């Protein structure tokens, strides 16, 4: 059995006499679910090299080590797909996802996904790693995506996401400038009763909060560039909330004007971009191992740069 590099904790004076579980929770925030899983392997939890129970008590100076079994995604076929790797270490992979690619294999998308490319990348590096995205991006949304490389990192970053401690900032190009330059859309979202694959604002829906700030206004208010930050992470949240306040995303075939442009100007914009004009521009989080804050920024992809240039030209 092969293991990832162990996580080690040295027992401090004030932790003398505590249980293994308590010391690990204090120092690493390891979940009970993960501890239960590690207990099933021979070298999953050791103190000074010897296998122990999580209820065992430790002394000052003892070295507790966690060893997670190496895994791989056997259900994902490796494919040589180009990847824009922004950051990678033994624990974490940050990608700049291009538009038009699905993140994870689903019904109808078993190959050609980002996951297929990542699994191939790890295979070429000789790494046994299971594909564990921390969050998702829609197929036609571009930008930064975080992927954990072991169960502990996935647990820690998922908790950061749930607590709102992961910073995610998006850029969107929309029809109409928001009435308020800066504001918050607090409107519950759920599936549309008439179209289950579509989300909509419903009083009985799940709490959903999006903060926005207008970065630029074009064509006398007919279009705008908007910065957005999510407080919650519902499916299609930005797209639904911007439509809700009368500012649907340019190029959005599901929630925008695509297929039925309002006028000649919008026809021109719809032709300029073949997907919703949405980009995950900034991503920040505390690295679970180093405990340092890390932040990345992804430049606008070519199609959105062209769209922005077209919009700017109308202001000149």
Q: Which two tokens stand for residue 167?
A: 């910073």
For residue 145, the domain's CATH number is 3.30.2350.10
Q: Which of 7-11, 40-44, 64-68 has the lowest mean pLDDT?
A: 40-44
Residues 97 and 43 in one domain: no
- Catalytic residue positions, numbered: 138
Which has more confidence, 260 or 268? 268
Q: CA 287 to CA 225: how far, in whole Å?
A: 31
At residue 75, the pLDDT reads 86
Residue 2 lies in a domain: no
3-state secondary structure the chain: CCECCCEEEECCHHHCCCEHHHHHHHHHCCCHHHHHHHCCCCCCEEECCEECCCCCECCCCCEEEECCECCCCCCCCCCCCCCCEEEECCCEEEEEECCCCCCCCECCECCCCHHHHHHHHHHHHCCCCCCEECCCCCCCCEEEEEEECCHHHHHHHHHHHHHCCCEEEEEEEEECCCCCCEEEEECCEEEECCEEEEEEECCCCECCEEEEEEEEEEHHHCEEEEEEEECCCCCCHHHHHHHHCCCCECCCCCCCCCCCCCCHHHHHHHHHCCCCCEEEEEEEEECCCCCCEEEEECCCCHHHHHHHHHHHHCCC
Q: CA 210 to CA 242: how far, in whole Å?
A: 9
Residue 179 lies in a domain: yes
Residue 295 lies in a domain: no
Which has more confidence, 170 or 274? 170
List C-alpha distances in Å: 116 to 103, 106, 133, 210: 9, 12, 13, 31
Residue 248 lies in a domain: yes
For residue 31, the domain's CATH number is 3.10.290.10
Residue 180 lies in a domain: yes
Q: CA 270 to CA 168: how far, in whole Å?
A: 26
Residue 75 lies in a domain: no
At residue 106, the pLDDT reads 83
Domain boundary among 125, 142, 165: 165
Range picked from 72-81, 148-157, 254-263 for highest mean pLDDT: 148-157
Count structural domains, the chain. Answer: 3
Residues 198 and 253 in one domain: yes
Contact 128, 264 (CB under 8 A): no
- The separation between the first and the last C-alpha atoms of the chain, rounded to the nearest angstrom, is 65
Residues 191-211, mean pLDDT to the nearest whole number = 94
Q: CA 97 to CA 142: how far, in whole Å?
A: 5
Residues 177 and 267 in one domain: yes
Place of tokens 């820690």: 156
Q: Comparing C-alpha atoms, which of 212, 206, 211, 262 is closest to residue 235?
A: 206
Q: Please give the residue range of the domain that contains residue 56.
A: 7-66
Residues 237-246, mean pLDDT to the nearest whole number = 96
pTM of the model: 0.90
């Amino acid at each position: 059995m092969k293991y990832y590099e162990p996580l080690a904790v040295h027992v401090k004076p004030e932790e003398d006499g505590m249980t293994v579980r308590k010391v690990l929770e204090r120092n690493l925030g390891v979940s009970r679910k993960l501890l239960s899983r590690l207990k099933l392997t021979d070298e999953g939890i050791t103190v000074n090299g010897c296998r122990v129970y999580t209820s065992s008590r430790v002394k000052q100076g003892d070295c507790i080590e966690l060893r997670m079994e190496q895994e791989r995604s056997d259900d994902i076929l490796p494919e040589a797909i180009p990847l824009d790797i922004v950051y990678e270490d033994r624990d974490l992979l940050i990608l700049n996802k291009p538009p038009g690619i699905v993140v994870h294999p689903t019904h109808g998308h078993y190959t050609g996904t980002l996951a297929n490319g990542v699994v191939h990348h790890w295979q070429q590096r000789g790494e046994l790693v299971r594909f564990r995205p921390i969050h998702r991006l829609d197929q036609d949304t571009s930008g930064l995506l975080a992927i954990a490389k072991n169960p502990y990192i996935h647990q820690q970053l998922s908790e950061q996401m749930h607590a709102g401690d992961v910073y995610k900032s998006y850029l969107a190009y929309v029809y109409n400038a928001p009435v308020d330059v800066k504001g918050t859309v607090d409107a519950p979202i759920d599936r549309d009763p008439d179209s289950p694959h579509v989300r909509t604002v419903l009083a009985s829906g799940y709490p959903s909060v999006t903060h926005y700030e207008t970065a630029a206004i074009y064509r006398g208010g007919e279009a705008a560039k908007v910065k957005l930050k999510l407080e919650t992470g519902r499916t299609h949240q930005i797209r639904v909330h911007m439509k809700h306040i009368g500012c649907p995303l340019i190029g959005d075939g599901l929630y925008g004007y695509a297929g039925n442009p309002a006028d000649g100007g919008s026809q021109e914009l719809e032709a300029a971009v073949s997907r919703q004009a949405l980009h995950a521009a900034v991503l920040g989080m505390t690295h679970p191992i180093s405990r340092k804050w890390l932040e990345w920024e992804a430049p606008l992809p070519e199609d959105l740069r062209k769209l922005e240039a077209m919009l700017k030209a109308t202001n000149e």
